[in-house]
Amino acid sequence: MADGRRLVVVGRAEPIALTAKEDLLEALQAAGVPIRTSCGGVATCGLCRVTVVEGAPCLTELKGVEEHHLGNVAPIVGLRLACQARFACEGEVRIAVPPVEDVLERRRRKLERTRAESLAPPPPGRGPRAPRVEWRPRKLGEGAVAGETASEPRAVRAPAPKTEGGKLPRR
């Protein structure tokens, strides 16, 4: 920490030293802090969001791509993309990094929730759940028109009733 650039992550005891050209994402990854990203630091995914708690003036200006991902309230609430934020001067910056959720764990919880809902009895006052509708295509026989099967003949339209002088007969 010879140059005086220190990054403090909320919930982590030791600060992280940065070089002048290193962005926050690179520093966090090098220090082993888990942070979401899918683009590798080129600001196309917008997942590496961090909240600047203290020391925002020590970071570079907010870029247009950050405003695109974070919205125009980003400077007010202190949101930054870690891949775009760099130190502009010496000092200490305190950030909060959101926890990274395990995708497999989230899928497992969703599967358990879906199973529990399907096995649960219906709420009081409502009848049993209707079974799911399953769509199966019909196989058409030879010479059949779409919408009918070979076993079901096409409906024949009944002839129009005879009229007396252009009027319909009374019933």
Q: Of residues 171 and 18, which shows the higher confidence score?
A: 18
**pLDDT above 90 (res 53):** yes
In the block, residue with structure tokens 């926890």: 99
pLDDT exceeds cutoff 70 at 158: no
The residue ranges of every structural domain in the chain are 5-96
| Whether residue 1 has pLDDT greater than 50 | no
Question: What is the Cα–Cα distance from 143 to 103, expressed in whole angstroms?
Answer: 52
Residues 45-71 have a mean pLDDT of 90
Q: What is the CATH number of domain 5-96?
A: 3.10.20.30
> What is the residue type of 56?
A
Mean pLDDT on 106-127: 81
Q: How far apart are CA 117 and CA 137, in angstroms?
A: 29
Residues 6+ apart with CB under 8 A from 38: 45, 47
Q: What rounded mean pLDDT belongs to the chain?
A: 81
| pLDDT for the residue numbered 54 | 93
- The 3-state DSSP class for residue 107 equals helix
Contacts of 59 (CB under 8 A, 6+ apart): 52, 80, 85, 86, 87, 88, 93
Q: Which long-range contacts (CB under 8 A, 24 or more apart) does 101-106 make?
A: none
Q: What is the pLDDT of residue 97?
A: 93
- pLDDT band at residue 10, thresholds of 50, 70 and 90? very high
Whole-number pLDDT of residue 8: 92
**Phi and psi, residue 107, nearest 5°:** -65, -40
DSSP designation for 140:
P
CA pair distance 27, 49, nearest whole angstrom: 14
pLDDT at 52 over 70: yes
pLDDT digits (tens, 9 = 90+) for 17-34: 888 788 999 999 999 999
Q: d(Cα 144, Cα 18) in Å, to the nearest integer?
A: 75
